[in-house]
Amino acid sequence: MTVAERWYRNGVIYNFDVRAFQDSNGDGVGDLRGLISRIDYLGRLGVTTLWLSPVHPSPWRDGGYDVTDHYNIDPALGSLGDFAELMNVADERGLRIMLDLVLNHTSDEHPWFRSACSDPRSQYRDWYVWSEQEPPDRSEGMVFPGVQKTTWTYSDRAGAWYHHRFYDFQPDLNIANPDVREELAKIVSFWERLGVSGFRIDAAPFVIERTEPGGDPENRDYSVLTELRERMSWRRGDAVFLAEANVPNDDLIRFFGNADGAANRLQMLFAFRLNEALMLSLARQDSGAVAEALVKLPRLPRHGQWATFLRNHDEVDLSQLLECEREEVLTAFGPERRHQLYGRGIRRRLATMLGGSQRRLRMANSLQFTMPGTPVLRYGDEIGMGEDLRLPERDAIRTPMQWSATTNAGFSTAAAHDLVRPVISDGSFSYERINVTDQRRDPDSLLVWFERMLHTRHECGEIGIGDHQLIRVEPSHVFVHRADAPRGSIVFLHNLGDRPARINLPLQPDETTEPVEVFSDREYPDLDLRDLELDGFGYRWIRLRRSHLRH
């Protein structure tokens, strides 16, 4: 497979919770048939891969990440037959499906855990992590500080303490057990056989953690990832793993595998450092943070790829910023206590964080979509949806998709009290003001802009496979970088501030050819690289060179 044929390097990933997307049968819960009915919307938007948040059977105490059966579809969402039909419809439209793969833990209602608790001689006893004595570190390492109290909980039924990196109803699997590893590989193989093109690995650092009472959380076994990759690649050569690993830069490359060779573990990682830098630069209206992050991005092994994002399905995680930097972002985008979560992040949508400013929203998304890697778009951000801060924790940004100004935002015909979550019905981000139908009719809407931007990006393959480099310019609120690949070179300008600017672009190696503006916030006058105008919150994509040969 050549670089150009690696689909995950030049795609656009769209993430959503099926339960909050479209209800087909009026029970108030989104389902697979509802998703199928909206598949043409996604095709028109210009995304290439649909990342479905957990769809497996679950008590749904943690958004479906508390799984009770990895080999099935939750009945509220449909059946395996419905899933197969989704795969058929997606294939017909050239869309790939990516599933959330929860390997770190199960629900405490999972048959494995129930068996493990009921009998110390159960074959599943050693599938989980136990301690006969109260662990000395049971109040350390919480993922959800302020909500989660411990990482070890005593089970009266089992007569022992079990480990849970997340909530107490999500006991951790014992990855050191070969039987567990074999089962995880079988789960991957099962969904691959049904046509899935990729898996987002939830909480990857905890998956490979060798957990024991009082143990070192840095004791990791990366061979788990290597084994899963080998099993997946053997059956389907083009399937990929995208991992959530919010770890320091020095540790990131180990998740990919060989730093000097090809990525032989995971092909993709979320670019958390880049995301934090983007949020800091947006808050400051200054390019310094994102410029530094771009320069410091680790060099990826061959075939490795970043996944970029502005908002995801969790909080905006600012934990790796300095405390003073975190306070800057919180002050700008989450000043109230109800905006904040876990002492480290913000539980708001991008549109509300940016005050609903269309110019700023478009500039921020343009900036993300030109960063090195494959962009991930959260459902509803293409129309500028807001959040419901009355909902607990991360549910604030998981409200139903706003399709129209009709009852329940066109999401469901159920009574309002039966909806999986309430639709946003108040204020300037209510479904009556922000919805797909109205924006489809408006040629200047955010949705139409997104369609145009995504389709333009597909023509700019340099972004996904090229080498990115910073171009230093003045003033400091303007960020300029370029992407170079065998097929061509493009330079990108973004004004993070509200003040207009004029840019004298340093001499570029490609100036023997005529530059072409391919995307911008408005139609600018004659293109002169020595004197480039840029409006406040403006952006320009300028092609310097293009090869018509296939590489």
Q: What integer is the mean pLDDT of 11-38?
A: 98
* pLDDT of 2: 44
How far is Cα 353 from Cα 357, in angstroms, rounded to an integer? Answer: 9
- What are the structure tokens assigned to 434, written together? 């922000």
- The predicted-structure confidence for 58-87, as pLDDT tens digits, reads as follows 999 999 999 999 999 999 999 999 999 999
CATH superfamily name and code, 3-106+178-456: Glycosidases (3.20.20.80)
* pLDDT of 214: 61
Q: Residue 434 pLDDT more than 90?
A: yes
Q: Residue 488 pLDDT more than 70?
A: yes
> Peptide bond before 136: cis, by omega within 30 degrees of 0?
no
* pLDDT of 1: 40
Q: Across the chain, what does the average pLDDT equal?
A: 93
How far is Cα 86 from Cα 96, in angstroms, rounded to an integer? Answer: 10
Residue 530 φ/ψ, nearest 5 degrees:
-85, -10
3-class secondary-structure state, position 487:
coil
Query: How many other CB atoms are found less than 10 A from the CB of residue 151?
Result: 23
User: Is 164:151 a contact under the CB 8 Å cutoff?
Assistant: yes
Cα distance from N-terminal residue to C-terminal residue, the chain: 12
Query: Taking Cα atoms as reference points, which of 385, 355, 350 lies closest to residue 368?
Result: 350
Percent with pLDDT over 90 in the chain? 81
- Residue 302 is given by DSSP the state B
Q: What integer is the mean pLDDT of 115-142?
A: 94
* pLDDT of 233: 75
AA identity, residue 340: Q
Which residue is listed with tokens 């899933």? 83
pTM: 0.95
Which residues are the active-site residues?
A: 202, 244
Task: Show Cβ contacts of residue 178 under 8 Å, excluding neighbours closer than 6 positions.
Answer: none
User: Is 268:243 a contact under the CB 8 Å cutoff?
Assistant: yes
3-class secondary-structure state, position 263:
coil
User: Is 344:317 a contact under the CB 8 Å cutoff?
Assistant: yes
* pLDDT of 534: 97
Q: What integer is the mean pLDDT of 178-186?
A: 95
Map out the domains of the chain as residue ranges. Answer: 3-106+178-456, 111-163, 468-546
User: Is 378:351 a contact under the CB 8 Å cutoff?
Assistant: no
How far is Cα 238 from Cα 7, in angstroms, rounded to an integer? Answer: 8
User: Is 476:286 a contact under the CB 8 Å cutoff?
Assistant: yes
Q: Residue 4 pLDDT more than 50?
A: no
Residue 131 φ/ψ, nearest 5 degrees:
-140, 130
Q: Which residues pair with 376 in a beta bridge?
A: 13
Pairing of strands 478-485, 488-495: antiparallel
Residue 533 burial class via C-beta count within 10 angstroms: exposed 0-12, middle 13-18, buried 19 and up: middle
- Band (232; pLDDT cuts 50, 70, 90): confident
Query: How many other CB atoms are found less than 10 A from the CB of residue 467?
Result: 12
Percent with pLDDT over 70 in the chain? 95
Q: What integer is the mean pLDDT of 437-442?
A: 98
Task: List alpha helices for 374-523, DSSP H.
Answer: 436-441, 446-458, 462-465
- The predicted-structure confidence for 492-517, as pLDDT tens digits, reads as follows 999 999 999 999 998 888 776 789 99
How far is Cα 117 from Cα 124, in angstroms, rounded to an integer? Answer: 9
Let me know if the fold of 3-106+178-456 is the same as that of 468-546.
no
Query: Taking Cα atoms as reference points, which of 271, 138, 281, 156 lies closest to residue 212?
Result: 138
Under CATH, what is the fold of the domain 468-546? Immunoglobulin-like (2.60.40)
**Helix (H), strand (E) at residue 283:** helix 272-284
User: Is 485:511 a contact under the CB 8 Å cutoff?
Assistant: no
Q: Residue 551 pLDDT more than 50?
A: no
Look at 176-180, 251-255, 547-551 and tell me which has the smallest mean pLDDT: 547-551
- Band (547; pLDDT cuts 50, 70, 90): low
3-class secondary-structure state, position 517:
strand
Under CATH, what is the fold of the domain 111-163? Oligo-1,6-glucosidase; domain 2 (3.90.400)
The radius of gyration computed from the CA coordinates of the chain, to the nearest angstrom, equals: 23
